Amino acid sequence: MTTDIFFQIVTPDEAMTRLFDLLPTDPQTERVGLHDALGRIIAAPIISPEDSPAFARSAMDGYAVRAADTYGASEGLPAFLTVDGEVPMGAAAERPLQPGTAQLIHTGGMLPPRADAVVMVEYTQPVDQTSVEVLRPAAPGQHVIQAGEDLAAGDELLPAGHQLRAQDLGALAALGITEIDAAVRPVVGVLSSGDEVVPASTQPAPGQVRDVNAITLSALARQAGAEVREFGVAPDVRAELERRTRQALNTCDLVVISAGSSVSTRDMTADVIGSLGQPGLLAHGIAVKPGKPTIVALVDGKPVFGLPGNPVSAMVVFGLVVAPTIRRLLGLKLNEEPPQRPARLTRSLASQSGRIDFVPAVLQRRHGEWWADPVLGPSNLIATLVRASGLIRIPLDAGGLAEGAWVDVETF
């Protein structure tokens, strides 16, 4: 009797394709003020409504000039210009620039009409209060930021599905955009199961253990951009597991069940998930170690995942199937990759072809190079993940890796 006969193993990609083909392509949206928009996903492209800057600005401290008035200027034969006042900051010049004159201007100041260049103060020499010598010629446009040069009206500033970073908020502020349409955060329901599992705040009786997965999976879901509701611990009783799963489905957009460790518990979980709605189970078993006994399902439009109870497996599988589904529901572009650091293996690792292996590892800097030191020992200990700085991913058909080989470590 082997556990394999219970599974129709598929690759994670295949499981995700089956699920994503059935999900809507566009997220629900809501208006979000710019101050709450960091990290949110924009639901539609943002088109610049105006030119930024709205006027030609000086990029230097110096003099606004007509470039033609400086042609041929040199230290030996400077161009002589009359200083016709100073451009105030935050206001238009008092008058257009007259031929043969210069106006003192500060970085960020608005160019006077008919000025087309700025001479840096370093390349000028004051003659008296009202005149200045220019020691180098200025080309038209020199040290000038043209109207619309930063962001031009009608240009696409950001594409749909983009996650807003600090500087994106700055660019939106520059354009006077103080609200955006963001993807609504999906609500993830987190449910643990197992007769032996008790809430973290409880003193366990002999044979009982505290729930590790609920808080870990909740934190991972929040990091992926979701809101979380927790539904406690269901005992290994079919009716109770079904009742709690229904409750989660009623109020959430996606449900994650950490499904216990024994074969019988996992089979009961699959059975319950499969019975709750259409199309039901899409995959039962994926080609990943640790994490094989994973359940991927869609229940009347809502993704439901059964994750192995082992905390290491649960975390690996969350990153592999649940986080991408949250990102998909958010409309985030799918080419996003988890943060990775290339590093060299401190020891050889065996792997089985046809399966993706994840091995927790500590990153170490040695002589300026990054090395990944696998954390060995039983794979089902939470301490393994606490000690590790990331996961080494051994691809589907690698069949093992030699000491010194370069690997990608997905840091966490």
58/144 Cα distance (integer angstroms): 5
Check residue 52 and report its DSSP letter: B
> With contacts defined by CB under 8 A, how many residues of the chain interact with a second copy?
95
Count how many Cα atoms sit within 13 Å of the Cα of residue 144 in the half-sphere of its side chain: 26
84/133 Cα distance (integer angstroms): 13
Which residues in 379-398 contact a second copy (CB under 8 A)? 380-383, 385-386
Q: How far is CA 151 from the centre of its chain?
A: 24
Binding status of residue 32 toward a second copy by CB under 8 A: no
Binding-site member from 118, 183, 212, 359 for a second copy (CB under 8 A): 212
* Closest C-alpha to 313, from 385, 233, 264: 385
Nearer of residues 299 and 316 to a second copy, judged by Cβ: 316
Which residues in 247-266 contact a second copy (CB under 8 A)? 260-265
On whether the CB atoms of residues 319 and 220 are closer than 8 A, the answer is yes
E strand map for 199-272: 209-210, 227-234, 254-258
249/140 Cα distance (integer angstroms): 65
Smallest distance, Å, CB 230 to a second copy?
9
Over the window 302 to 341, marking each residue x when it contacts a second copy by CB under 8 A and - when it does not, the resulting string is -------x-x---x-----------------------xxx
Over the window 147 to 166, marking each residue x when it contacts a second copy by CB under 8 A and - when it does not, the resulting string is --xxx-----xx------xx
Nearer of residues 348 and 364 to a second copy, judged by Cβ: 364
* Closest C-alpha to 160, from 47, 43, 26, 37: 43
Which residues in 183-202 contact a second copy (CB under 8 A)? 194-198, 200-202
Pairing state between β 340-345 and 369-374? parallel
Smallest distance, Å, CB 291 to a second copy?
15
On whether the CB atoms of residues 374 and 360 are closer than 8 A, the answer is yes
Which residues in 48-67 contact a second copy (CB under 8 A)? 52-55, 57, 59, 61
Binding status of residue 238 toward a second copy by CB under 8 A: no
User: What are phi and psi for residue 148, nearest 5 degrees?
Assistant: 80, 0
Nearer of residues 165 and 347 to a second copy, judged by Cβ: 165
From residue 288, alpha-carbon distances to 244, 314, 321 in Å are: 28, 12, 11
Smallest distance, Å, CB 15 to a second copy?
22
Binding status of residue 240 toward a second copy by CB under 8 A: no
Over the window 99 to 138, marking each residue x when it contacts a second copy by CB under 8 A and - when it does not, the resulting string is -------xxxxx----------xx----------------
Nearer of residues 76 and 368 to a second copy, judged by Cβ: 368
400/39 Cα distance (integer angstroms): 37
Pick the piece of the chain touching a second copy (CB under 8 A) from 31-39, 249-257, 273-281, 284-292: 31-39
User: What are phi and psi for residue 410, nearest 5 degrees?
Assistant: -85, 105
Smallest distance, Å, CB 31 to a second copy?
15
